[in-house]
Chains A and B, each alone.
Chain A
Amino acid sequence: MRIPPKVVHYSVLTFLWAVTLGTVGTLCVIIGWVLVKGLPAITPGFLFSAPEGAGREGGIFPVIVGTLWVILGAVLIATPLGVGTSIFLVEYTRENWVTRVIRFGADCLAGIPSIIFGLFGYVFFVVALGFRWSILSGALTLALMSLPTIIRTSEVALRAVPPQYREVSYALGATRWQMVLRVVIPGSLPGIVTGIVLAMGRSMSETAAVIFTAGTVLPDSVPTSPGDSVRTLAVHFYLLAVEGLSEKNAFGTAAILVLSILVINVGAYTLMHRFLARYR
C-alpha cells in the first residue's frame, strides 16, 4: 500500500516543526531558568564590588575583570595562530601529507578533554615555564584549546571564497599575499569571525582547564598584571554551587556568564558587519 505523498509531506513537516521547537524550546528554558534565578541577584553592588566571605557576600567585580583578561589574552594569542595556520593550509600549500597531518592534528586537539589541556597547561606553563597560576597561563592554555575550532572554521570560510576571485587577482599581477589580504580575507571574514566567537564562548564557559592554570583563589581586588592569579566567572560559579556557599550569587554569576556570551556574539557580528559594509 502506498502512503499518499501529501500525507508524507505533512507528517515530515510536523516532525520537523516538532524537533525544531523542541530544540529551541529546551534552549529557551535553560537560558530563561538561569536568567530568572540569576537576574534578581544582579545589582550594581553585585557587579561592581569585591567578594566577601568566599563569595557568600559582596560582588564579583574582580572575577569579571579577571575573566575578561583571560578571554582577551586567549583570543589575541589564538586568532593570529589559528587564522594564520588556516591561510597557510588553504592558500600557501597544495594538498599533501603535511597538510593532512596538520589537519589530523587539529582534529585530534579538538577531541581532547579540556581537563587534559588543563593538566598540560599546569605542567608546561605553570610549572616548567614558571608562569605560575596566572592570567598568562590560563590565556595560553585556552588559546591552545581554541586553535582547532578557529583553524577548521577559518579553513572552511577561506575555501568558500570563489576561485575566480583568486584567478583574476593573479591575472592583475597581484602577489599571493595581496590576494589573500584584499580578496580572500574580506570574503571569508564572516566565517572567520564565527569561529573566533565560538572559541571565545567555549573559553568563557571553560572550568577544568582554567582551574589548573589561572587558579581558583578568589581575588579581593582587581587583577592588574598578566602574572596575577584570577578566578573566572565559570570557575566562580562552579565553586559557589559545589560548595553550597550562596545559591543566589551562584545564579547571579551564571546569568552574567550567559549575558556576556550573548554580548560577545552580538558585538562581534555588529563589528563585522560594519567592516563588511565598506567592502560590499
Chain B
Amino acid sequence: MLEARNVRLWYGDFNALKGVSMKIQPRSITAIIGPSGCGKSTMLRCFNRMNDLVEGCRVEGEVLFEGRNIYDHYDLTELRKRVGMVFQRPNPFPLSVQENVGYGPRIHGLASGDGLRAAVKKALQATQLWNDVGDRLTAPALSLSAEQQQRLCISRLLAVAPDILLMDEPCSALDPMATQNIEELMLELKRDYTIVIVTHNMQQAARVSDFTGFMLLGELVEFGETQTIFTAPTDKRTEEYITGRYG
C-alpha cells in the first residue's frame, strides 16, 4: 500500500538518500533503524512529503501510495490527512486537550458539535488517555505529563482517521516506563493502522516491529522480517550494527 522506489534526496549539495526502495506492508509495524545521520528520518519524511518544507530539498524517484506517486501532482492536504506523523518530541498545541484533538477534524470539516465531541472521545479512548483526561478536556495540553502529551499527539492524529502512522522516534523524549506503554499502544494500533517507525533504539525495533530496514549513509543496507534481520542478517554491516560494533 506504501512503497518507495529508488528514492534519492538532496539537501542542497548533500545527497542524503541514495536510492532507497522499500515496501510497507499493511497492518504491520515497519522499523527503520540506523546510526544518527543515516537518513532514516529523512526517508520517513518522504512518505508524507514533509521534506518539502525544507529549503533546498530535492527528491527524485517515486513513492507510491495506493499505486499513485505522491510526488506527482498529489494533493498534499489529502496525503497528510491519510499519512499522519508523530514527532520526536511531544508537540501539542498550546491549547486545551479537547482543542488539540479536535484540530484535525475541524480543519478538515469532518465533525462539529456533538459529532466532534464524540470523535475527540473516541480518539482519546484509542490511546487509553480518556480515563486520565476525560474529566478535564478543557485543561491545557501542556499541563499533561510527557507520556500523556505523546498519547495526546497520537490521539490528535487518529482523529483525522489516517491509514498510515509515521512515527519519528516517538519515545526518545520519554522515560523507560512511558516508552514501554507507548510500545504496547503501538501493538494495539497495528490492528487498525499501518505503522512506520524510525528509532535509534534497536531493542525497540526488535520488540515491536514486524519488518526492519537498516540504513547507513543514505542507503538501505538490508530490509526484511525483523526476526531475520536480528538473528540472521545477510549483510556484514547490519550484523556489526545490531551487535553494537557500529554506530
Contacts and interface: CB of A to CB of B under 8 A. Distances in A.
Contact of B87 (A167, A174, A187): A167
A164 B93 CA distance: 9
A173 B77 contact: yes
A169 B104 CA distance: 9
Contact of B107 (A164, A174, A280): A174
A24 interface: no
A48 interface: no
A34 interface: no
B84 A171 contact: yes
B103 interface: yes
Given A164-B87, A182-B107, A171 B48 contact: yes
Contacts of B95: 186, 279-280
Contact of A173 (B89, B94, B160): B160
Nearest to A179: B107
A170 B80 contact: yes
B124 interface: no
Interface residues of B, number: 28
B53 A170 contact: yes
Contacts of A178: 107
A171 B107 contact: no
Contact of B78 (A167, A172, A173, A279): A173
A165 B91 contact: yes
A129 interface: no
Interface in B134-160: 140, 153, 156-157, 160
A204 B81 CA distance: 48
Interface residues of A, number: 19
Contacts of A279: 94-95, 99
B164 interface: no
B50 A171 contact: yes
23 contacts: A94-B55, A164-B91, A167-B50, A168-B91, A168-B93, A168-B153, A169-B93, A170-B80, A171-B84, A171-B87, A172-B80, A172-B104, A172-B107, A172-B157, A173-B78, A173-B79, A173-B108, A174-B77, A182-B103, A186-B95, A280-B94, A280-B95, A280-B140
Q: Which 8 A-B pairs have the closest CB atoms?
A: A173-B81, A173-B80, A171-B85, A164-B91, A178-B107, A173-B77, A172-B104, A174-B107
Interface of B: 48, 50, 53, 55, 76-81, 84-85, 87, 89, 91, 93-95, 99, 103-104, 107-108, 140, 153, 156-157, 160
Given A171-B87, A172-B104, A174-B77, 18 more contacts: A167-B87, A168-B85, A168-B91, A168-B93, A171-B50, A171-B80, A171-B84, A172-B80, A172-B160, A173-B79, A173-B80, A173-B81, A173-B104, A173-B160, A175-B77, A183-B93, A186-B95, A280-B95
